[in-house]
Structure formats: C-alpha cells, structure tokens
Amino acid sequence: MDFDGCEYEVPSNTFTDLDINAIDDIQEHDPIIVPMVTDNTKLYKGMICENKEMLQHMVKCFAIKSHAPYEVVESTPTKWVIRCKKSNEGCKWRLRAIMKKSHGLFEITKLSDQHTCFYSELSQSHVQLDSSMLAREFFEFVREKPSISVTSLQSMIKEKFGYHVSYRRALDGKTKAVAKVFGDWDESYKLLTRWLYMVKHTNPGTLVEWRVQATPIEGHVILSSVFWAFGPCIEAFSKCRPLIQIDGTHLYGKYRGKLLIATSIDSNGHLLPLAFAVVEEESADSWG
C-alpha cells in the first residue's frame, strides 16, 4: 500500500487476529497448583486446582469449616459459579472459577472477601457433607483398612468438621470410596471373564467353567455361576487322603450369592483347597 509516496505492507494475521485474552495469559506467572487440601487451606482469588473435582472438594471443606453452606448457580465442564445459600437475605459472598486456556487448570477468578450472613445455630448436618464429599474424606482410610466400620468413619467426620452425618450417608460415602479404591462392582464383573481367562492360561492345568443367561439386550448376558480349580491343587490331590469336604458361605455386597468350596486334607493334616464355585443358591444342582 502507498501513502505519501511511502510503501507499507499489510499487517500479518498475527497482528490483525490478536487475542486480548492471550495477552493476559502471557502476562500471567507460571501456575502454582494447590497440591492437597489441609485443615489450614484458605480460598483466595487466583488459586489454581488441578481439576474441577479437586476445586469443589476444597470449597466444600471451606464451607463446612465456615459453617456457611452455598448453592450452585452455574456448573459446566469449564465453569463453576456458586453463591451463599443466604444470598436471598442479602449475603454477597460469591465464587467463580473457570478452566483457563493458558494452563488448562481450574482457577478461582472471582471471590468475595467474606460472608455477611450469620447462622445463629450450628445445625447437626451440613448440606455440603454429601456422599461424594465423604468419599474423598474416607478414601485413605478405606485404602489402608477396607473393613473400617461406618461408625468409625462417622466419628472421624464429627471430630474433623464438628458435624454428625447419618449412618446411611456415611455408608454411601464409604461405598463410593471403596469403588474408587478397588473398582466399581459393575466394572469388576465385566472384567471377570478376562480374569478367569488369565488365571487359566497363567496356571497350567487350571480348570475354569462358567454359565451365563441371555438377556433381551444384544451383547449383554447375566452370570449364573462360575467354577474354577487351580492346576497345582488338582495335582496335589493325589497326595491327599481319600476325603473331600464341601462347604459354602454367603456373599454380601451389591450382588448376592454363595461361595462353594471343596477341600481335602494332605498327609500332614493340612487343608488343601481343591475347587471353588460362585452360584446363586446352594443346591444339589449347583454342587453337581
């Protein structure tokens, strides 16, 4: 282009398509991610969390310790906005967090200084102490001791937050924590046939059989029963006394059933597990 006898080139797309948000991102410092929630964790504008779930857990902890519940205004995969549950009474407390394009993490971009409302009495429970919140609190306890009682978990919450949670809610929280640590019931059942296949092919001589029922849904079946006997145990049976003992026990959990076990006794008087089966009911047919 020619102006006043001087020639100028057309600006590049980098200039004409300038993104104002990108400028802000460039000016920001490297993100400092909050590694974990502690009793002393405080919320502040600019706080960065690894993901939305971690941010929500952190805010729940803050709300519970502050005895100030909140309600969700907007929630999307990249945005989360909440306000005080007493906003209709004039409390201006509000929090807004978004996933920043610059680092792909969740960052608190708006946060009111403090609540202006007042709760005259401390209630027995807190709306943010839901089963998902409890699952995160129970996670480490369940991983270290899966058999930990629900009442022990209730006491832990009471000691940490000062609130009592019902047995049912604590049980739901523990159930979710167990699923996070050991896997979901349904997903585990889906992997059962693969597990049996690997057991058979990594233990020479092992026998595995299972029965399934068809369903109206194509590609879906229901497990009726499963039987397996480890190869080394089958081989060792020839050294045992000519006696087989059978017994069964109930299975407790989401899916009920019976675990049947056949055992023998070796020359040293020790029990040898010969075969196992999981069936719906203990009967002559299932033992056969």
131-144 vs 150-161: helix crossing angle, rounded to 10: 120
Q: 204-252, pLDDT tens digit by residue?
A: 999 999 888 888 888 788 888 899 999 999 999 998 999 899 999 998 8
Of 194, 105, 182, 93, whose CA–CA distance to 143 is shortest?
Answer: 182
Tokens of 48: 């960065």
50-64 exposure pattern, b = at least 16 Cβ within 10 A, e = fewer = eebebbbbbbbbbbb
- Helix, strand, coil abundance in the chain, percent, nearest 5: 35, 25, 40
| Cα 241 from Cα 266, distance rounded (Å) | 6
Q: Give the residue extent of every domain in the chain.
A: 1-123, 129-183, 188-287
**Global pTM value:** 0.55
Q: 41-87, pLDDT tens digit by residue?
A: 678 888 888 899 889 888 888 888 878 888 999 999 999 999 998 88
Percent of the chain with pLDDT over 70: 81
